[in-house]
Chain A
């Protein structure tokens, strides 16, 4: 008797042939249903197996992360908080690592949550040199480099985020290859990394990109990066320079003006004022007005009053707010605000003007009382609203 050994493909063919001949006598609808059921069942089994594998892996990870925490947390904390600078060998000895210490990618990944957690808790107090040396001993920079070079986009993005979260050291060159890529999220993460750790001119990439998409997400992240740079004594960009560069990205220009306000760069006020005089874009003008007002730049008052009557309601509100913030005690400005209070038809503008007048020092209070007497009866509720301490009229007006 001869035995034939079938290949894998032949087994499948054999099975499908059986299925075909068994169902051949049935109507086509039933045959389709049978195929559909078979595919569905195979998918169910595959998904269940996939889920089980994922669950087991995740449970193993959780168990090992907890074990690592018990074993290393105190030692790592001791190293990070030690005022004296420690040598790598000393750190290695304290962590009881073998001489030719080597870890698998999976093992490195399991250290990451603990290290991020430690940096979040003690980042402000720790000895940065010891921290970096400990990361070196654990070979974290090599691990992150491998992750950034991996094929998976997720791994690359997660690596950039982890590096930022634990202030790890990753070569600038590794990230620079993703500064211009098709994947916008990856590109943004690489740019953020370059901006955070770059030493030359890390923001150049923003100014050079003609297709830059600068979302609110990037605004938040770039501001945090700038705060980090300032706290760590790194070079800061010249924001006013960003506004004059080509190609001009409107979002980036507005961001630059907002950053001038948040970092309180009073030296840029004169140039901002000249920009305001030439500006026709409402959002950009509002950002300039807000910044000049927040920095209490008195020479801007004249321009503010000049623009006021031709401005939109949104811009008017910003102007009133800025004039209130400057609060120079100029009776002309106050008269101007009073006049507009009686003339405006917009509720929000009226409330804002009233609040600004109320907060404009002693002459403001006098004007406020005068308006209260002169205003029609239906305005009484506005005055009560502004006077009530329990209402945050900055929010409600």
Chain B
């Protein structure tokens, strides 16, 4: 390969990695100020106490699509019904499950089909019926089950749920998610405390794999002890406590997770609801909501709260991880083709001028640059042209920075009120952080690139079921911001090696001359 290629690539990588690190430093600082603000002004117990006794507390609906969830649906619906909040409803959307999901719901909650005047505010697959309880149990009265023709996507089922919710705000989650008892209070508070209209609220999500869950309730929270969910837990925490928190501070949030997020119903309906054809339906939804608000000249906010409100089961093996990450990669690529007009567009304020360029440069491009970095390293290895005496310091710098981020998220997590039962559980995070750049990250790069290629080739992709330990459920959307940091670290490490080698080669060349 000609020398100018190495030259050009090395300079490019220096600029790129400097930008990545600068962006992460900026986000860590912004997140610090946001956490400090939260710590200074927010008091969970006091807030809950005030909301509990007030007639002004707004109602909240929970929409949870269910497809072939017979193993866990009853326990999880009971868990949702036992949440602490004065006025809420739970809407389960049965997407024509092939198993006994609907039958079990009918039997356990004493449901009957009612003549509901269904209005299709958002287009979905045909509505089959709505079920309400005839039991006198007040908790069961909060439950509504919607049955519809299978739409093949979570988006279609969620839209059917949005069509029947009666409250101004609704939370979109999955039936297999475990919610914190006070989650609804925490989610609604930002909408009340803000002077601007809050159109979506996101909360920190964690992996439930290592935790003790009884009857759908979180008893003891621990980090996963299997490596893949542990890596993902670290990635989620980094994304929520640094990336999203920082972007929330400047009102530039890119995504509200489909696993757990609260939305303004009116704006969702006006924005057209979830797009069933999108592989990143939650990110796409937020983009369309923001587009609607900006086009109508209204002020808005998308908020991230630091407290953990939801636990979800992470992919247990590489097969499931592959499917999940390929879909995320594909979804991200698809998202940019759909919303490219918002990029660098002043009309879309921070979202167009900051968020989308950030995603494009540091999330969409990162796997490609990282892959090229690996390629360069291999190429230099073949030529035995790597400067081993200097590579270590470049690697060390980036590796230490990655560890700094991990220590920082642990610190933030302790600050906002740790979610783990024991403080020593954080040692698992440190272990994951030490190993992540060597194993987990390169694999994810491969999966993301696979997603891009599939999207470019237009390969038909079946959503499929994500096999969990005893659970069948739809896939979830990524915590994208978190991925960027480690992407950059690995990419920059590999290309920094290339840079060292080039300088070595140059020096050798000079000496020869």
A and B are interacting partners = yes
Interface band, chain B: 35 or more
The interface residues of chain B lying within 8 Å CB-to-CB of A381 are: 115, 117
Contact with A along B178-197 (1 / 0, CB 8 A): 00000000000101111100
For residue B149, CB closer than 8 A to chain A, the reply is no
- The verdict on A44 contacting B403 (CB below 8 Å), with A29-B14, A55-B423, A158-B43 known, is yes
Are B50 and A224 within 8 A (Cβ)? Answer: yes
Known A-B contacts A34-B393, A55-B414, A395-B166; A385 and B191 likewise in contact (beta carbons under 8 Å): no
**Residue contact B54 to A220, C-beta cutoff 8 Å:** yes
Contact B56 A30 (CB under 8 A): no
Q: Which residue of A lies closest to B54 (CB)?
A: A220
Interface size on A, residues (CB 8 A): 52
Q: For B133, what are the chain A residues with a Cβ–Cβ distance below 8 Å?
A: 390
Q: Specify which chain A residues have a CB less than 8 angstroms from the CB of B21 in the assembled complex.
A: 36
Contact, CB under 8 Å: B394 / A30: yes
Chain B residues lying within 8 Å of A116, measured Cβ to Cβ, are 45
Contacts of B43 in A (CB 8 A): 157-158, 161
The reply to whether A215 and B192 form a contact with Cβ atoms under 8 Å apart is yes
B293 within 8 A of A: no
Q: Does B359 contact A (CB under 8 A)?
A: no
- From B234-242, B299-307, B404-412, B477-485, the one touching the partner chain is B404-412
Q: Would you call B339 an interface residue if the criterion is a C-beta within 8 Å of the partner chain's C-beta atoms?
A: no
Judged by DSSP, the binding face of B is helix
B396 an interface residue at 8 Å Cβ cutoff? yes
Complex contacts, A26 vs chain B, CB 8 Å: 390, 393
Complex alpha-carbon distance, A158 and B44, angstroms: 12
Task: State whether the Cβ of A40 lies closer than 8 Å to any Cβ in chain B.
Answer: yes
The listed residue with most A CB atoms (<10 A of its CB), out of B43, B397, B408, is: B397
Q: Which residues of A contact B394 (CB under 8 A)?
A: 29-30, 33
Number of A-B contacts (CB under 8 A): 130
Cβ contact within 8 Å between B404 and A382: no
Question: Is there contact, CB below 8 Å, between B39 and A154?
Answer: yes
Which residues on the B side are within 8 Å of A34 (C-beta)? 393, 397
Least distance between B106 CB and chain A CB atoms (Å):
13
A395 to B164 alpha-carbon distance, docked (Å): 10
Set of chain B residues within 8 Å of A227, measured between Cβ atoms: 53
Cβ of A391 under 8 Å from chain B: yes
Residue pair B112, A390 in contact (C-beta under 8 Å): yes
Q: Give which listed residue, B57, B117, B393, contacts A385 with CB less than 8 A.
A: B117
- Report Cα–Cα, A311/B114, bound state, in Å: 33
Interface string of B39-64 (1 = CB under 8 A from A): 11101011001110111111000000
Question: A395's closest neighbor in chain B, by CB?
Answer: B166
Cα–Cα distance between A227 and B56 once the two chains are bound (Å)? 13
In the assembled complex, B132 has its CB within 8 A of some CB on chain A: yes
Between A and B, 16 residue pairs with Cβ closer than 8 Å are A27-B390, A30-B393, A30-B500, A33-B394, A37-B396, A40-B397, A40-B401, A44-B404, A50-B411, A54-B415, A55-B414, A219-B192, A220-B57, A224-B53, A390-B114, A392-B141
